[in-house]
């Protein structure tokens, strides 16, 4: 299984498509592709991004709207594209919505926003026949000290898509930036019903900087904060 952040799988045969993205973060902003197991949407992709717009500040508008609405889930509607073009430095123009732009409660917050990729946090081609590597609950942990997130690592079908904030309680691990996703494993059944939820406390094992020369393991207790996004409707294989 590939967990390195910069190995993109090009599938030139796949058509361009509109790839729905979850927008989250405060100090640092991220996009997470809402995947399927079927092409052309069968990639789990997490990106660190910036938002710009001539004469305006869409990042502050997003933060202010989130603060006033209390809504954790925002989405970005990009133009039709191939996911593999989203390398560091790539950009596109899209629209920011409160909730999902694909649902009835999706409300436009800002249009014509330039989204620029600052860092590829994680990318992996999905295969519903992939085995769970640990047999436990597997998450992708990333972020900066005082603002860490965990996204469920999608492996075998059926699966689920989930993003939440987490607090790492071990000082050593909590002080270490994770610009690329670290594998975070928590004992338990890796299904939607048993997923980590807000308020949970757990003992986690980390593989930090996986697939690089700096790869190493660490353990820490964690607490789970707000669940930003959850969906199990489209990953049944």
Whole-number Å distance between alpha carbons of 176 and 148: 10
Whole-number Å distance between alpha carbons of 169 and 86: 33
* pLDDT confidence bin for 7, thresholds 50/70/90: very low
Q: Are 219 and 207 in contact (CB under 8 A)?
A: no
> How many CB atoms are located within 10 Å of the residue 92 CB?
17
Residues 30-41: pLDDT tens digits? 999 999 999 999
What kind and span of H or E run contains 62?
helix 58-69
Q: Are 158 and 236 in contact (CB under 8 A)?
A: yes
Whole-number Å distance between alpha carbons of 232 and 191: 9
| pLDDT score of 1 | 27
Q: Tell me which of 44-53, 130-139, 217-226 is least confident.
A: 130-139
Which two three-digit tokens encode residue 70?
A: 């209390």
Whole-number Å distance between alpha carbons of 65 and 107: 11
Mean pLDDT of the chain: 92
| pLDDT score of 216 | 87
Instruction: Tell me how long the chain is.
Output: 237
* 70: Cβ contacts below 8 Å, ≥ 6 apart: none
Whole-number Å distance between alpha carbons of 97 and 233: 20
Q: What average pLDDT does range 186-210 have in this prediction?
A: 94
* 117: Cβ contacts below 8 Å, ≥ 6 apart: 47, 48, 49, 86, 87, 88, 89, 90, 91
* pLDDT confidence bin for 8, thresholds 50/70/90: very low
| pLDDT score of 6 | 42
Whole-number Å distance between alpha carbons of 207 and 129: 23
Side-chain-side CA neighbours of 213 within 13 Å: the count stands at: 0
Using the predicted structure, report yes or no on whether residue 123 has a pLDDT greater than 50. Answer: yes
């Amino acid at each position: 299984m590939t967990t390195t952040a910069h190995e993109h799988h090009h599938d030139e045969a796949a058509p361009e498509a509109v790839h729905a993205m979850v927008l989250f973060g405060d100090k640092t902003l991220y996009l997470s592709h809402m995947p399927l197991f079927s092409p052309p949407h069968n990639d789990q992709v997490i990106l660190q991004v910036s938002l710009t717009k001539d004469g305006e500040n869409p990042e502050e508008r997003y933060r202010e709207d989130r603060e006033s609405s209390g809504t954790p889930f925002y989405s970005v509607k990009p133009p039709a594209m191939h996911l593999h073009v989203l390398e560091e430095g790539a950009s596109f123009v899209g629209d920011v919505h409160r909730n999902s732009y694909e649902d009835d409660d999706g409300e436009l917050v800002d249009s014509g926003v330039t989204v620029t990729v600052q860092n590829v946090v994680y990318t992996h081609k999905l295969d519903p026949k992939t085995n769970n590597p640990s047999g436990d609950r597997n998450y992708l942990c990333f972020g900066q000290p005082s603002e860490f997130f965990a996204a469920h690592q999608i492996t075998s079908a059926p699966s689920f898509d989930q993003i939440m904030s987490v607090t790492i309680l071990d000082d050593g691990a909590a002080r270490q930036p994770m610009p690329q996703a670290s594998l975070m494993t928590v004992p338990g059944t890796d299904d939607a019903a048993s997923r980590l939820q807000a308020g949970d406390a757990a003992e986690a094992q980390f593989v930090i900087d996986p697939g690089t020369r700096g790869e190493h393991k660490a353990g820490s207790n964690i607490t789970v904060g707000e669940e930003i996004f959850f969906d199990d409707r489209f990953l049944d294989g």
